[in-house]
A and B are shown apart, each in its own frame.
Chain A
Amino acid sequence: MSYYPILTAPDSEGFTVLHNFPPNNWEISSRGPKYVNATTISEGVWTSKTIGFLDHMESKTYTRFDVGAIEGLCLLSLTEAPLPEVSPQLPNLKSQTFIPNWRATLGLRRKDAVVSYQGEIEAFPAKASLLTSGLMLQHGQNVENYILLINVEKEPVSRSGELRLFDANNMSSPLATFGVENNKINIIPFDQNLFHTGRLPIIACNEMTGIPLYFSCLRDSSALSLEHTHPPMSLAIHGNRLGVQRLIKSFWFGKMNHD
């Protein structure tokens, strides 16, 4: 199994629905009850506790209220045995299925509106970078936009980095810069006034990577949108997709340094 974060966003409550059934009937996976774990960083180490059990074919919704006094990133997981209470590194969990991965419903609730996506997260390498585009930035008088950058790494050691927003046609200097941290859901205001319609936002971070979630809402909370972008390798199929990612990143990070 992978990990499933409880999301955080401005004026919103995060919820995570865990499902103890696989996404298909043909990739062999364990059946039977599973432990529900909540994992976080406390005093410099990963700590986990059992917060419940799910029978086979059962689903259940969890919020911060269900995990007790956890501040900061909270990762849920389903395992056949409880996770160790204390770990020097994030316990290694991998999805048992691949077409698709074993997912949970990750959502946000704001007043009466609900938005969610099917997702999971596994630890990213510390030596990695983020490059993506802000194609889901929405314009409008009553629209708020945020980037929720979710980073998880094996080591619990705190690191920080700089997330920069560029106009793709002018990579010489960022339009905005934000501090980001590892092992955290970083909430980044994504100001529509920086990018007129027709301009392509580029989002980059040299020091770390993560899943960039785009959360948009109407100020009266009557409408929400939540979706993530993919890494550059998703722009290619078959062959050397990682090579494609390296090419694109090298080109764009080079523009940031030299323009």
Chain B
Amino acid sequence: MIDGSLGLFHKLIWKLGQPLTIRPVSDGAPVSDLFLWRNDDLGTVFELLCLPGLFSDLIESETVQMMFFDHNGEQISTASIRIKTGERISLNLEPYTHGYGAYGTMAFFHNGKLEELRLLNTHLAERGYTGFRSKDNHFRSYVHGNYDAICLEPDGGLQLLGGTSLLPRKYYVQYVFSPLISYEVALVNPTPKTQKIRLSIFEADDTPVSDSSIHLPPRGSWITKYISHPRSWTLILESRMVMTRPIIFRRDQKMLDVFHG
């Protein structure tokens, strides 16, 4: 770490006013990740439980507000689902996303108006578990939420909470992509501004393989496919998001593995 005046300068450039997650404007506003849904050759399941019921026996159930967005970040549908305390619902997302493209994002807002949370000056957050499966197989590959991305305001409005950076930042995916295996790299924009994201691929000896850019609108998502490169490779992402962490789908013939980069 750098001390002294250089450390202060570093802090000003990279940290001051640039949190990973902005605090919601409204007290007690529930927060959710922008979870990725897929309705192409993969289906999506989301694991729901009654979060407020984790705090008190007085809460027997709640109604979870669900919102779905297409890959441009446009809202396509809303729905609600009632869940009892102590219940688990493995929610198949196809009925909510069918006909709206191959993928997009979604958010789940729980009842965040708990006195316990108010006293702790905090916000209830859904960062749970999405399961992806091939359409002919019920087995799921799970991945947890990536960001505290969006909150639901009392008037029904939405606030995006992803932090933005003064300067472009590089995110080095700490993963070696295997040769001859296909991958899909999924990106989501949890910030209120359109983000230009640069994706650069290098082989182990720093040989550049490809360099591309996308423009991702707020709440938008993008999946880039990399098919079977002959040698192992690494990925660098560059944008003005504080953290541009992808979700990676490893597709080895019929075998699927999904994880955070």
Contact = CB atoms under 8 A, between A and B. Distances in A.
Interface residues of B, number: 66
| Residue with the greatest number of chain B CB neighbours at <10 A, chosen from A104, A112, A117, A135 | A135
A199 B90 CA distance: 10
Contacts of B96: none
A135 B129 contact: yes
Contact of A238 (B51, B121, B141, B170): B121
A21 B259 contact: no
Contacts of A197: 88, 90
Nearest to B178: A114
A234 B127 contact: yes
A66 to B, nearest CB: 16
B259 A244 contact: no
B60 to A, nearest CB: 11
A168 B260 CA distance: 29
A59 B87 CA distance: 43
Interface stretch (B63-71, B100-108, B221-229, B249-257): B249-257
Interface residues of A, number: 69
A115 interface: yes
Contact of B255 (A102, A113, A169, A214): A113
Given A198-B87, A241-B122, A28 B1 contact: yes
B140 interface: yes
A223 B31 CA distance: 32
B88 A200 contact: yes
14 contacts: A25-B170, A58-B204, A96-B1, A114-B257, A135-B47, A135-B49, A198-B87, A222-B254, A226-B259, A232-B54, A236-B124, A238-B123, A239-B122, A243-B122
